[in-house]
Chain A
Amino acid sequence: MIEQTAGKGAARAAQRGLGARRRGGAGGTMRRPGFLTYGFLGAVILGSVFPLWWSFLVGSHDSSVISKGVPLTPGGNFFANAATVLDSIPFWKALSNSIIVSTVTAASVVLFSTLAGFAFAKLRFRGSKVLLVFVIATMAVPTQLGVVPLFIVMAKLGWTGSLWAVIVPGVVTAFGVFWMTQYLRDALPDELIEAVRIDGASMIQAFWYVGLPAARPAAAMLALFTFVATWTNFFWPFIVLDPSNPTLPVALQLLQAAHFVDYSIVLAGAVLSTIPLLLLFAVAGRQLVSGIMQGAVKG
């Protein structure tokens, strides 16, 4: 399904390419870009990858080498530094916590957003328009500013320090609801729902057998974005979690507190904590790109 949407974009792009070439033939304005264009893009890509490479360079030497200036080739000390990282912060705990929090949040955001999106896009009910406007308006509300009462609530519930405190506030997002509503409105024909309803399916069956499959491409993208956003989130986990039970960004900050003067260890930790998302990016980066571009056109 995701392939299909990518295919649509590719088809559109191909059409443009064709048009461009035609125009190129007529006026000569749109030629294949020259090496200036590629040079500029190359510089941009270099700028976006270089800090990561630098982080690996620093993380692969020991501090005595670094104090004399960082060599431009990696050293052989990365694993020793990584071992120090594992000793000084609960890295594996943080990694598994990040995996748990991000996975659970992404799964529940997708489920609840699709459910709500299905209702907003396809079911008729009193007040639906007003409620949808409300959802859109809440996207702009800086809920982060409610941290103090949120902390008070979590303390009352006895959840401070536990992963629940991080998971529960993120279980459903306004953005997710809006995104799925937009998508299902076009992607799911009303006739299909009517057909299964006439066959006697209940609402939840209609959602499960027709709505959910139709939502799959958008749901996959929503899951990706939620996963990345939750994984990289720092402010609230930093406030509510204990140093003994952190997520990866919180653990990184602990690493900085423990080894501030020794960049080789801090940056080895930065590399270690980034590897999981880089792997995800290698697999699903294409979907992230098309997700951003589709969201931009619709949003």
Chain B
Amino acid sequence: MAVTDRVHTPPPTRQRSPRDKSVKRLAFSQKVSKWDVKLSPYLYISPFFLLFAVTGLFPLLYTAWVSLHSWNLIGGQGEFTGLENYEFVLAQPFFWNAVGNTFSIFLLSSVPQVVIAIAIAAVLDANLRARTFWRMGVLVPFVVAPVAVGLIFNNLFADQAGLFNEMLVGVGLDPVRWHSDSLASHAAIATMVNFRWTGYNALIFLAAMQAIPRDVYEAATIDGAGRLRQFFSVTVPMLRPTIIFVVITATIGGLQIFDEARVFDQAGLGGADRQWQTLTMYIWELGWGQRNFGRASAVAWLLFLIIVIIAMANFLITRRIANQGGRQ
């Protein structure tokens, strides 16, 4: 605004009064400008903080409050019940079943995913022709919605006449009961997660590999290290921070897995015996299936604590590794 003010000020005349006026106006605009400098930053960052407070932080904290009450989806808040919801939930076999399923699916998806992603990245890091084509190719699954991925793989993993079972039978093996055997269903769901995220993570590792100074490899070559030795003694150790980053993000996402498991059958409760019911699915069942918001919140809060503990463990391990790196 100050610009326009000054531009529109008439050329100074010999008379005294207009000049006084313009001096006053300048002082005023300076004051405005001072406030502008002071307040603008807060104004610009406020949308994030306000929105995060209302839609992120408040609901998360309020979950703890809801979990201490009997609370119905329709009826709303009931009386204060203390830790009753927690006692109930912790006594449910389905809760512990969901904990086990969540960790099993998480491990089956994160570990192979990281290993395969690094392998793909190492290959993409070679001196390839049509580099962009290959990079885009591995990213295609990323734009397929998890629900669509779930439906497609549900067909591929069909117990009767699914493609994967046909192939197993074709090579003389027994078909796997993907939808009734617990571990098999976890493997199937983990496959969906891996399908969608491996290429994405491979690109992250590829970027980290390209940031490794090339003279390190030159030194290794001079020392007589072969390609494979270079990969394990140079590439992998230097990728460590990236590996930790990917593992942490995979942890936070993987422990909340819902979409793929939800559409693995029609009922969406994780199978007849809840073979693949995850904790997030259990929250949904308690809250929107049984309309018991109090118990759903108790499970949500417990899952939150689990995630925090694992994230902390990750952090401590990270720091330890970093310290060791410094000492060497």
Q: Give chain A's interface residues, CB within 8 Å of chain B.
A: 12-13, 16-17, 19-21, 23, 27, 29-33, 37-38, 40-41, 44-45, 47-49, 51-52, 54-55, 58, 67, 69-70, 112-113, 115-116, 118-120, 123-125, 128, 131, 135, 138, 140-153, 168-169, 171-172, 174, 177, 199-205, 207, 228, 231-232, 234-235, 238-239, 248-249, 252-253, 256-257, 260, 263, 266-267, 269-270, 273-274, 277-278, 280-281, 285-286, 288-289, 292-297, 299
Contacts and interface: CB of A to CB of B under 8 A. Distances in A.
B231 interface: no
A73 B57 CA distance: 51
* A-B pairs, 9 with minimum CB distance: A146-B59, A200-B3, A203-B40, A293-B207, A232-B145, A149-B59, A149-B62, A125-B41, A119-B44
Interface size class of B (residues with CB under 8 A): 35 or more
B139 to A, nearest CB: 6
B51 A277 contact: no
B171 interface: no
A140 to B, nearest CB: 6
A239 to B, nearest CB: 6
Contact of B63 (A124, A149, A270): A149
B131 interface: yes
B258 interface: yes
Q: Taking chain B's interface residues, is the majority helix, strand, or loop, or is none over half, making it mixed?
A: helix
**Most A CB atoms within 10 A — which of B45, B59, B152?**
B45
Interface string B129-153: 1011011111111111111110111
A125 B43 CA distance: 11
A248 B145 contact: yes
Contacts of B120: 41, 44
Contacts of A169: 51, 55-56
Contacts of B301: 145
B193 to A, nearest CB: 13
Contacts of B158: 263
B163 A266 contact: no
| Interface majority SS (helix, strand, loop, mixed), chain A | helix
A257 B136 CA distance: 33
A58 B155 contact: yes
Contacts of B37: 123, 203
B297 A148 contact: yes
A150 B55 contact: yes
Interface in B31-48: 33, 36-38, 40-42, 44-45, 47-48
Given A140-B311, A147-B300, 6 more contacts: A48-B199, A69-B161, A253-B263, A260-B266, A292-B203, A292-B204
Contact of A12 (B204, B210, B280, B283): B210
A48 B140 contact: yes
B176 interface: no
A47 B202 CA distance: 14
A296 B214 contact: no
A292 B226 CA distance: 30
Contact of B163 (A54, A125, A147): A54
Contact of B48 (A19, A172, A238, A273): A172
Contacts of A47: 195
Given A44-B120, A169-B55, A249-B145, A297 B207 contact: yes
Given A142-B256, A256-B266, A125 B161 contact: no
A293 B126 contact: no
Contacts of B91: none
Contacts of B63: 145-146, 148-149
B143 A131 contact: no
Interface in B205-234: 205-208, 210-211, 214, 217-218, 221-222, 226-227
